[in-house]
Amino acid sequence: MSVSTQRALVWFRRDLRDYDHAALYHALKSSQEVYCAFIFDTEILDRLPDRADRRVEFIWESVRELKQALQQQGADLIVRHGAARTEIPSLAKELNVAAVYTNHDYEPATKRRDASVTDTLTNAGIAFHSFKDQVIFERDEVLTQTCKPYGVFTPYKNAWLKKLNDFYLQPYPVDRYVKHLAKVTTTALPELESMGFVRTNLGSMKLPAGMSGAQRLFEDFIERMPMYQAAREFPAVKGPSYLSVHLRFGTTSIRHLARTAWQMGGAGAETWLSELIWRDFYFQVLHHHPHIADGHTFKAEFNKLPFPNDETLFQAWCNGRTGYPLIDAAMRQLNQTGWMHNRLRMVTASFLVKDLLIDWRWGERYFADKLLDFDFSANNGGWQWAASTGCDAQPWFRIFNPVTQSEKFDAEGKFIRKYIPELAACNQKEIHAPWLMPALRQHELGIAIGKDYPMPVVDHATQRAKTLSLYKQASAASA
DNA sequence: TGAAATGTTGGGGCG
DNA sequence: ACGCCCCAACATTTC
């Protein structure tokens, strides 16, 4: 096929934007006619537990915006509902393209799917090109001096920053070759309902979707960037960027975000950049240790800790009814909004594992189901960090005190009151451990602990001792 | 990207 | 004045 007639297909996945896009850029640059496609993959969607899924809705809205953006340029986004494994090869054949372009995905299950698609395409004489897009550095790009992958964050971060230069932050100039977009109109976007999903009722907590949503959030965050370091620890404060879900679905560009922070400088921007580096770090950990995707701990000695795994306690944690206000407020935030403040992810994870003595994998799964910004690498990394089973994890004897954390990070109880209205009348001393209120005081406030709000389901000091002995045994057995 | 237990120090009350 | 106790405040170690 001659260059002048060469056609290509860009397969969008977690990169739902039309600018600074590696695969789109490379396809446009080396082909004359570029088609764009997104597949609502039934191999993923059919396994989702709930037909009202915020992530599917977020993706759907973002896909709709991407389709509109391409239409404004005279092109279109082909959207299908089916198994991507077969849809992409058949679409490639229908369109008679010479190559399919996409961006790397680092999750083992997705890599297997992509390998299968590659095989099918190769057999049909169609090339498959994949690019780094969702991270700054991937796989083997940041290694120690002895060419080994880093297992500890701080030295990784130092090496990452040392390697960073303008080249890695450059946007892909999609505009330059935009005339190579295929001028077509395709079928309408399938409705959510036709794919078996129903709209969720996100109400006022709804995060704006799509490229425009990401842009609005980032513009707002840039103003707050200087305060990020101080503000990010407190769940009642508007400190975070709220961009995690947009990074997850690529409705913003990591290069754009990192470049802005890098150029801005200052303590706030540096701290935030560090969070972006954590993201690269965990992608890289998964690449070098794919066995963690099979439920294995990074540290082998803790792979089979004998957790009692009490189902009732697990339900109390899931439903925000443990009797520890900060834990419950955090879990209710997750359940109601699909997002949880990062500090609270650490605190609730520590509580599940080290106060309730439940396998961290149960919590990992629950977060995977509930978090709008769920990403396997970061979620697994975070859980193994909290459970002390991961690389660069906290030491196993480090256990958060749910009351102390509450007093430190929600001193006024503002966040707790937002999600636990039944405790709203408590003063800021009482609200962190309301079961300590004398009966008379409870009566005065009209709150009966144990009735209107649960008594603590466990005693922290007791559970802490149990956890220490559990880990101590496993630790000693391996020594 | 802790918390709890234990150790040390120093000021004040008191006999 | 002095020793003693108490305990807060801080430091260290232990988990």
Share of chain A above pLDDT 90, in %: 94
Q: List all nucleotides in chain C with at least one atom under 7 A from a protein Cβ.
A: 15
The burial of A235, by beta-carbon neighbours within 10 Å (0-12 exposed, 13-18 middle, 19 or more buried), is given as buried
State whether A86 and A163 are in the same domain: no
**Chain segment A232-255, per-residue pLDDT in tens:** 999 999 999 999 999 999 999 999
The gap between A417 CA and C8 C1' (Å) is: 33
Q: Is the CB of A461 under 7 A from strand C?
A: no
Q: Is the CB of A163 under 7 A from strand C?
A: no
State the average pLDDT over residues A18-33: 97
Q: What is the CATH number of the domain that holds A468?
A: 1.10.579.10
Measured distance CA(A153)–CA(A159) in Å, rounded: 10
Measured CA to CA, the distance from residue A117 to residue A251 in angstroms comes to 24
Transcribe A76-142 into DSSP letters.
Answer: -EEEEEE-HHHHHHHHHHHHT-SEEEEE----HHHHHHHHHHHHHHHHTT-EEEEE--S-SS-TTSS
Closest CA to A260 of A394, A136, A439: A136
CA distance A425 to A395: 38
User: Domain range for residue A152?
Assistant: 135-171+212-288
pLDDT band at A5 (very low <50, low <70, confident <90, very high): low
DSSP A9: E
Domain end (from A87, A107, A133):
A133
Say what the pLDDT of residue A2 is: 45
* Domain contains A264: yes
What is the total count of domains within chain A? Answer: 3
- Write the pLDDT tens digit of every residue in A417-446: 999 999 999 999 899 999 999 999 999 999
Partners of A40 in beta bridges: A81
Calpha distance A293→A84 (Å, rounded): 21
Q: Is the distance from CB of A76 to CB of A184 less than 8 angstroms? A: yes
Per DSSP bridges, beta strands A77-82 and A7-12 are unpaired
Q: Alpha-carbon distance A25 to A299, whole Å?
A: 40
Mean pLDDT along residues A9-38 = 98
Are A237 and A231 contacting, i.e. CB atoms less than 8 angstroms apart?
yes
Q: Is the CB of A96 under 7 A from strand C?
A: no
Instruction: Say whether both A284 and A317 belong to one domain.
Output: no
- Residue A129's Cβ-count burial label (10 Å; 0-12, 13-18, 19+) is middle
Q: Are residues A280 and A315 in the same domain?
A: no
Residue A105, in any domain of the structure: yes
> Which letter does DSSP use for residue A356 in this model?
S
Q: Show residues, CB within 7 A, near nucleic chain B.
A: A 153, 278, 342-343, 346, 394-395, 397-401, 404-405, 408, 460-461, 464
